[in-house]
Amino acid sequence: MKKSCFIDVETAERLAAKYPTPFYVYNEQGIRDGIRALNRAFSWNKGFKEYFAVKACPNPFLMKIIHEEGCGMDCSSYCELILSDSIGLSGDDIMFSSNVTPAADFEYARKLNAIINLDDETHVDFLAKHGGIPEEICLRYNPGGNFSISGAIMGNPQDAKYGMTEEQLIRSVKKLSAMGAKRFGIHAFLASNMIDPDYYPTLAEILFELAVRVNEKTGAKFTFVNLSGGIGIPYRPEDKAPDLDYIGAKVKEAYDRVVVPSALKKLSIKAELGRYITGAHGMLVTRAIHVKHIYKEYIGVDACAANLMRPAMYGAYHHITVLGKENRPLDHVYDVTGGLCENNDKFAIDRMLPEIVPGDLLAIHDAGGHGYAMGYNYNGKLRSAEILLKQDGTDELIRRAETPADYLATFDFCDIIKKELL
């Protein structure tokens, strides 16, 4: 299947005239449509709510759009809480799903009255000391072993640092109840980037059954399960996008089977999707600046792994469209590389593409989730701008590009960095 590209060469050149490449561009309409499809798929569940995993794309302009579609924010650090606070969110618009949590982070989350998702049994006393125990609280579960869907292993919770065992969870619920907690939720995140539509239904059944068991053993009132993140996007042309309606309907089957006949009778469902919300709706636009022929053919572009780390870090596939050459034959084999002094700085290896010449603009697809967010400054490379393509076709700069002054700003105590150099 051919992957569609939400930006054409005219738009990209118009943007590049205003904002130097490389830059990230996000498609507002796509983000809104994706959230609407999710909310529709779970409309059968009263209280369904998606909390956008801020770490996937921590930009307050995008967070505002996502909030307008009815979502809260899932945070796991102090600065992610600041971002949510900055767009006016508090209370049950924030899920705080952290691990190895510093005291100040818990205190801030409690000040915002966010829903706390506790990663460990020992965090009960820690939270009591740093912020206090709220009336409604969520607990993160780790089932151990392997996690499989219809026999195929999809994840290894036994090796994951997150969550607690069932026994620990039961003890925590009892302890929290004694300390004043009245309503509970259960959370687990067992596999990521799952395009298998049975991920959520399988996880939901595990969490529904766990909530029923823990309720039977403790008498505690359970109000929600949090299916967390993990729904994937089709990075490769041959990948199939998960069918949200199927996912919603299958989770409902598990709900009707497990929750409805139980003493719980009902639960609301929460999600913390990140990649699904913004992943496919962001692209990294970069310009080819060099063509090099040695033992292989290299296209050198002005973006690098510091702008988009996933290919270097995970060997992740990101589709590339050479803008304006969409209909040319894919008759050249290239490695598309950035300029880091690291040989893994390659956006594509042995990729069939049309002939590329210096000056061509390349769109690197599906960079909207865990893309800009994972950026860094290695080799003195600067973070790029982020641009929003709005529903009415206009564009807005939603984050400026870093300058050398930003790179040097943390040396503010130091005379060597002369202001006139900047």
User: Residue 9 or 139: which CB sits closer to ligand PLP?
Assistant: 139
- Alpha-carbon torsion angle 359, 365, 39, 240, nearest 10: 140
Q: Does 244 bind ligand PLP (CB under 6 A)?
A: no
SS3 state at 288: strand
Query: For residues 19 and 48, which CB has a smaller minimum distance to ligand PLP in the complex?
Result: 48
Based on the shown chain and the rule CB under 6 A, indicate whether residue 35 belongs to the binding site for ligand PLP: no
Closest distance of CB 386 from ligand PLP, Å:
18
How far apart are the C-alpha atoms of 209 and 219, rounded to whole Å? 15
Judged by CB under 6 A, which stretch of 16-24, 247-255, 272-280, 300-308 contacts ligand PLP? 272-280
Smallest separation, CB 57 to ligand PLP (Å): 9
Tell me how far, at minimum, the Cβ of 397 lies from ligand PLP, in Å: 25
**Is 56 an interacting residue with respect to ligand PLP (CB under 6 A)?**
yes
Residue 45 or residue 228: which is nearer to ligand PLP going by CB?
228
Bridge partners for 152 per DSSP: 149
CB of 56 or CB of 308, closer to ligand PLP: 56
Q: Closest approach of Cβ 28 to ligand PLP, in Å?
A: 19
Name the one range near ligand PLP by CB under 6 A: 212-220, 266-274, 358-366, 371-379: 266-274
Compose the 378-417 pattern: x for residues touching ligand PLP by CB under 6 A, - for all others. ----------------------------------------
Question: Distance between CA 12 and CA 375 in Å, rounded?
Answer: 22
Strand, helix or coil at 315? coil
3-state SS class at 27: strand
Closest distance between ligand PLP and the C-beta of residue 95, in Å?
8
Q: Does 310 bind ligand PLP (CB under 6 A)?
A: no
Report in angstroms how near the CB of residue 36 gets to ligand PLP at its nearest.
18
- Kindly state whether residue 55 participates in binding ligand PLP, applying the rule CB under 6 A: yes
| Cβ proximity to ligand PLP, 137 vs 323, nearer residue | 137
Please confirm, yes or no, whether 341 is among the known catalytic residues. yes
Instruction: Based on DSSP, count helices (H) and strands (E) in the chain, helices before strands.
Output: 12, 19
Minimum distance of ligand PLP from residue 147's CB (angstroms): 15
Pairing of strands 268-271, 49-53: parallel
Q: Which helix (H) or strand (E) holds 13?
A: helix 9-18
β strands within 365-410, DSSP E? 385-389, 395-399
Query: Is 273 one of the binding residues for ligand PLP (CB under 6 A)?
Result: yes
Tokens of 56: 């996937």
Q: Is 163 in the site for ligand PLP (CB under 6 A)?
A: no
Sequence-ordered strand ranges (E) for 30-168: 49-53, 72-75, 94-97, 115-118, 136-140, 147-149, 152-155
Residues 196-235 vs ligand PLP: string with x where CB under 6 A? --------------------------------xxx-----
Which is closer to ligand PLP, CB of 276 or CB of 334? 276
How many angstroms separate the Cα of 67 from the Cα of each of 19, 58, 64, 272? 27, 13, 5, 13
Residue 223's alpha-carbon distances to 15, 44, 53, 135, 220, in angstroms, are: 47, 16, 21, 12, 10
- Catalytic residue among 71, 138, 304, 341, which? 341
CB atoms within 10 A of CB 291: 15
Length of the chain: 422
Number of amino acids touching ligand PLP (CB under 6 A): 17
DSSP-assigned letter for residue 419 = G
Burial of 355 (0-12, 13-18, 19+ CB in 10 A): middle
The answer to whether the beta carbons of residues 273 and 267 sit under 8 Å apart is no
Half-sphere exposure of residue 385, counting CA atoms within 13 Å on the CB side?
Answer: 19
The verdict on 369 binding ligand PLP (CB under 6 A) reads yes
Which amino acid type is present at position 254? A
Told to check if 192 binds ligand PLP by CB under 6 A, we report yes
Contact string (CB under 6 A) for ligand PLP, positions 74-113, x = contact: x----------------------x----------------
- Give the residue, chosen from 31, 53, 62, 373, that forms a contact with ligand PLP under the rule CB under 6 A: 53
| CA-wise closest residue to 115 among 209, 184, 200, 210 | 184
- Under the binding rule (CB under 6 A), the answer on residue 274 touching ligand PLP is yes
Q: Tell whether residue 19 is a contact of ligand PLP (CB under 6 A).
A: no
Give the interface with ligand PLP as residue ranges (CB under 6 A).
53, 55-56, 74, 97, 189, 192-193, 228-230, 272-276, 369
Task: Show which residues are catalytic.
Answer: 341
